Every structure is written in C-alpha cells, then in structure tokens.
Amino acid sequence: MNVIRSLLIAAAAAVLAAPPAAAQTAPKLKVGLMLPASGTYAALGTAIENGFKLYVAEQGGKLAGREVEFAQVDDESDPAKATDNVNKLLKRDSVDVLVGSVHSGVAMAMAKVAKDTGTPLIVPNAGAAAVTGSMCAPNIFRSSFSNWQPGYAMGEVVAAKGHKNVVTITWHYAAGDESVRGFKEAFEKAGGKVVKELSLPFPNVEFQALLTEIAATKPDAVYTFFAGGGAVKFVKDYAAAGLKKSIPLYAAGFLTDGTLEAQGADAEGLLTTLHYADDLGTPRDKAFRLAYAKAYKVQPDVYAVQGYDAAQMLAAGLTAVKGDLTRKPEFDSAIENAKIDSPRGAFTLSRSHNPVQDIYLRQVVGKENKLVGVASKALADPGQGCSM
C-alpha cells in the first residue's frame, strides 16, 4: 500500500514539475536560404540575406513564437547545381521553408522541388515568368518582381520620349530574355520598333563586339538588362566606347541598383525603371533604411528590400497558423491575401503570387537612384500559364 502511495505521490509531483503546455518552447523554425555567395550576383545574395535577417531580428529573432535558425548554401547562380543544392537544404538540413534565389534558372529548379514536395518557397529576387506562371503553386510566392514588370514599364517610358528605333542588349537567359520581351511588348504597342536584339551568354562580360554593333546600327536608344558585377562592367564599357554621349541608355533598374559605388560617374544621369528608389521618403522606408544602415553599415538596395519583404511574407503566413506549418492551406492563403507593408510601398499579391506594385522611374544622381515618378501604377504580371 505504502509503495503504491509513494508512486502516486511521485507521479503527481512529476506532473506538477512539468511546464504548462503554453510555456513549452515551440520548436525552432529552420529557414533554408539558397542564395549566391560567389560570382557576379554575390552582392545581391548578401543584401537579400541581410534584409531577411533584419526583419527577423526586429521581431526578436522569432516569427509567430518560433525561434528562427538558418541553413545556407551558396548556389553560385548555377542552375546545373540547383536541384542538388535545394535537396541539401531539404534532406541534409531538414529545413521547414525555402527562400531563394537570385538567378531565374536556379529559382525555376527550386520551384520544381517546392511544387513536388509541398515545401513553402518564397523567391526573394529571381523574376522568371514560370515561377508565377506555368509552375505556379499554392505554396510558391515571390517577394520581388517578374522580369516582365520593369521591362514593360520602361517600354512605355521610352516610347513616350519619342524614340522610334531601339536596340536591346542583355544576357541570354530567362531574366534577360523576359525583360526584353516586356520592354518590346509595351514599346511596340506604342508604335516603336526593336530593330536588333543583341545578347551574350550569362555571365559573360565581353561586351566589345556588341557595343561596336550598336555604334554601327545607330539606334535612337538602347534598352538593357544586366545586374550585379556584369552591370558594373557594362555601364563602364558603354561609356568607354563613347556611346553614352550619343545613344541614350535605358534599363531595368538592376543596372544601377547596388552598383553605383563601382560605376561612379559612368552611371550619372541614367534612367531606369524598378519597384524601388533610394529616396522614396516615406516614414516606412526611412525607418527601414536607417535600421539597415545601422545594422550593416551600408545603404540598402532593392535586393535588401526584397529579402526584408520575404521575411514579412513568411511572418504573415506563420502568424495566421500560430507557427504551425502543418496547417498548409491556411498558411498559404494568409500569405496570398496579405498586404505587405514594404519599404517600397505597400503591395498585395496577384492570383499567381507575384507582387502587384508601382514601378518607379528613377535617375542616377551621384550615388543614388532618385525618384522621378511612377512609371506604371500597380502593375500586375499577367501570370500567363498559371492555373491553381
């Protein structure tokens, strides 16, 4: 009898000693960051990571009560390695959520795996049409743009300036091709003509022969998509070839975002279109820029904003399900219906999960992409091929 009594007392003591359910710590949330840490897009990857981590730090390191930890791979902006890299995050590191990447080809490989496995994926840069088009899925979201968006907006701007014949030049892969396609669609709809489409393989930066061809063609203007290290070299080579004085250069804003320190005077005056500018001057953007500069000792760029907003989107989903990622439909629909309070200006997502956002016209003045105006208000990617 005494033995039974002591056992009961011990059991009761154990129950009392256990923390109440509410006080039990939620399991950590493992975020897999797949970004370039090397190559021409390395700086873009760093800015995205900084932006994402800044938002998490502002929430005390937790989203919906779950402490956030990271697993990372350098994807080298190499689509051939992308499937292996994303599987490392899923199988070796057992991540709960995927965030990546910069390069469109890498993001398409990530989207395929995310679609097959149902793992939530937030794309914090790559603009590939397929990600929010033919590959769209309830668990795939983008916090950045589609390649079409800045290109389309610039097509309207260049036509409105009265230019008739334009040569385009870019890297021949999804980002460059789709950016040019967006530009051409708007420019030709407005009566202009793209007379030559020049390209070179990614990440080649031997521009000389193509610049000679532009000089010989003598178009009214040039439209381009380049980003990162390649953008720095292109702007310098365009000026060194004497073309900046004779043929106006217009671009998707990646040409001059995060690159102005290195481009110096060769970028001065360039007009570009993008969903961010350095001097939006809103209280939201000012607070973000201050916090980012304090944390990282550099000014933020569009990539930092996209990383920050990817974390905001994840937080919106997690908050709705109180951190419980097994409640997938509720998690997905909370992100789908969220209004993201972005430094770029608040945005919502399209039916295919791409930001519906203002595209700004900017001009390089000193080391800043200064706001000229809104080139295209609440521009939505068509999301062609998306059915879900």
Cα–Cα distance measured from residue 154 to residue 45, given in angstroms and rounded to the nearest whole number = 25
Q: Which of 280, 300, 226, 282 is nearest to 256 (CA)?
A: 226
Q: How far is the CB of 173 from ligand BEZ (least distance, A)?
A: 7
Q: Does 32 bind ligand BEZ (CB under 6 A)?
A: no
Q: Extract the tokens encoding 162.
A: 């009265």
Candidates 152, 234, 254, 276: give the one binding ligand BEZ (CB under 6 A).
Answer: 254
Q: Which of 100, 111, 112, 113 is nearest to 32 (CA)?
A: 100
Build a one-symbol-per-residue string for 41-60: x at contacts with ligand BEZ by CB under 6 A, - elsewhere.
x--x----------------
Angle between helices 302-320 and 283-296 (to 10 degrees): 110
Q: Does 127 bind ligand BEZ (CB under 6 A)?
A: yes
Q: How far is the CB of 324 from ligand BEZ (least distance, A)?
A: 32
Build a one-symbol-per-residue string for 213-232: x at contacts with ligand BEZ by CB under 6 A, - elsewhere.
--------------x-----
Which of 39/127 has CB closer to ligand BEZ? 127
Build a one-symbol-per-residue string for 74-113: x at contacts with ligand BEZ by CB under 6 A, - elsewhere.
----------------------------xxx---------
Q: How far is the CB of 226 from ligand BEZ (least distance, A)?
A: 9
Q: Extract the tokens encoding 353.
A: 């999960």
Q: Does 157 bind ligand BEZ (CB under 6 A)?
A: no
Q: Does 320 bind ligand BEZ (CB under 6 A)?
A: no
Candidates 31, 95, 108, 126: give the one binding ligand BEZ (CB under 6 A).
Answer: 126
Which of 39/120 has CB closer to ligand BEZ? 39
Q: How far is the CB of 321 from ligand BEZ (least distance, A)?
A: 30
* Interacting residues toward ligand BEZ by CB under 6 A: 41, 44, 102-104, 125-128, 147, 175, 227, 254
